[in-house]
Amino acid sequence: MSSKVIHAIYTDDDILMQAVKQTREAKYHIEEVYTPFPVHGLDKAMGLEPTRIAIASFMYGLVGLTVAVLMMNFIMIEDWPQNIGGKPSFSYIENMPSFVPIMFELTVFFAAHLMVITFYMRSKLWPFKQAENPDVRTTDDHFLMAIDVANHNVEDMTKFFYDTGALEISIVSNDEH
């Protein structure tokens, strides 16, 4: 059994935001919104849960900091101690001020690179993956809101979305997008 979805197309992000709020007030289920650029506040207007990506970034930064500390301790103190600028090489704590830039850089390096990998895995963006946007105009200058028809009257929904400022409305089966 395939369900139907309404695709409402808008050309202005402010009109889209207002339409999303009206759609939520009307108790219609928004499956997805496709935009050519990030729209500030759209996630809150759609009622999406806050992201946990900041927690992941912090954890990745801690991994980078740990790798930096262990690497510098092993290389500069245990394995190959060197007298650079008269600094003692027998204690990590005494040398730590000179290691701060390396700790910072590896923290940022690990957080940034692991965040990119996490984003691609979470978004399921694999190399050579085909685009999934239902209308190619959403990559240029149009916004598309996909709304599940479920048990609602299609004619009433179509009129509702035209009233919210939609320029074009199409009804597709869930198998097509």
pLDDT digits (tens, 9 = 90+) for 90-107: 777 878 888 899 999 999
Tokens 């290389």 appear where? 75
Residue 28: CA atoms inside 13 Å, Cβ hemisphere, count?
26
Structure token digits, residue 177: 């997008």
Whether residue 59 sits in one domain with residue 33? no
Whether residue 108 sits in one domain with residue 57? yes
What average pLDDT does the chain have? 89
Considering only 78-87, 104-113, 116-125, 153-162, which range has the smallest mean pLDDT? 78-87
Whether residue 17 sits in one domain with residue 61? no
Inform me whether the pLDDT recorded for 1 exceeds 50: no
Residue 22 phi, psi dihedral angles, 5° rounding? -65, -40
Pairing mode of beta strands 30-34, 168-173: unpaired
Is the whole-model pTM more than 0.95?
no
Structure token digits, residue 96: 């730590």
Strand partners, 144: 9, 34
* Number of structural domains in the chain: 2
Whether residue 117 sits in one domain with residue 57? yes
**DSSP for 15-55?**
HHHHHHHHHHHTTPPEEEEE-SS--TTHHHHHTPPPP-HHH
How confident is the model over 39-49, as pLDDT tens digits?
999 999 999 99
**Domain endpoint, select from 122, 146, 162:** 122
The boundaries of the domain holding residue 89 are 53-122
**Domain endpoint, select from 122, 141, 159:** 122
Q: State the CATH number of the domain containing residue 45.
A: 3.30.70
Whether residue 96 sits in one domain with residue 62? yes
